[in-house]
Structure 1
Amino acid sequence: MKQIISTNDAPAAVGAYSQATSTGDLIFTAGQLPLTNNGELLDEATVSEQTRKCLENVQSILTSEGASMTDVLKTTVFLDDIDDFEEFNETYSTFFDDKAPARSAVEVGQVPKGAAIEIEAIAVVED
């Protein structure tokens, strides 16, 4: 059965979607933009800073459900410029140990709200 996940420790959804959903042991986050908890978009920040904020938002959602970044099975990364890949990857790698999740990273025509990056995750949490 689908459960809706919502936490005040991450930015509220800015549209017709949930911060995350879960079913069984799986958690699916929505794409996380570099937004602060009060909704401020860090669109003028570096790609590294935007990456860090996106992943901090993912982390906050997972923490609210008793999961952590080590429980992430897969991420999908949307970059508005694939030339930012190295800068993104340097920061991204600090969130995961040597057992990093599977990942897709793609350049898209435009990330919502003019951000440079958006990141979504699938994680598993066991009782």
Structure 2
Amino acid sequence: MSDTDPIETDDAPNTDNPYSQGVRAGDTLYVSGYGPVDPETGAVVDGDIDAQTDRVLDNIAAVVDEAGGDGLADVVKVTVYLTDLEDYERVNEAYGARFGADPPARVCVEVSRLPEDVRVELDATAYLG
């Protein structure tokens, strides 16, 4: 088995489900999928899809930071899961505002349902070299 380290932080949502918030394997960090859940309350954040996308990105950044990275600056790949592709443009705006001129590689898919019936979830891969 390879040498991996689970990453845990109170600055991102924790559940009783059997997965790590992130797993570091060498210089690569794999961040689990997150919905727009506030880590302090465990509740889905109020607000539109823009606010919810921001919360998801905050959760991902917190895991990257905990692993010794530089938040979203170290993210190299993201998968976006939407329950309605009508949200695509607004998610792109919120996402683009956070990643700037050099965004990571990305996939976006529409799914039939997400946990807690949220509208958006993202997972990420970061390079911490």
Settle same-fold status: TM greater than 0.5. Answer: yes
Q: TM-score, normalised by structure 2?
A: 0.92
Partner of 1:57: 59
> For the residues of structure 1 that align with 2:111 and 2:58, how far apart are their CA atoms?
22
Q: Determine what percentage of the aligned residue pairs are the same residue.
A: 33
Partner of 1:41: 44
Aligned pair partner of 1:92 in 92, 95, 105: 95
Q: Hey, which bits of structure 1, 4+ residues long, moved more than 2 A?
A: none
Partner of 1:70: 73
Q: Tell me the SS of whatever aligns to 2:33.
A: coil
Mind listing any 5+ residue stretches in structure 2 that lack a counterpart?
none
AA aligned to 1:72 is: V
CA 1:16–1:53 in 2, change beyond 3 Å: closer, same or farther? same
Aligned length: 125
Superposition map of 1:6-25 within 5 A: 6-25=8-27
Superposition map of 1:101-116 within 5 A: 101-116=104-119
C-alpha RMSD over aligned residues: 1.1
Bigger shift: residues 76-85 or 59-68: 59-68
Mind listing any 5+ residue stretches in structure 1 that lack a counterpart?
none
Q: Deviations over 1:67-125 (max 9, x none)?
A: 12111110000000011000111001111121110000110001111000000000010
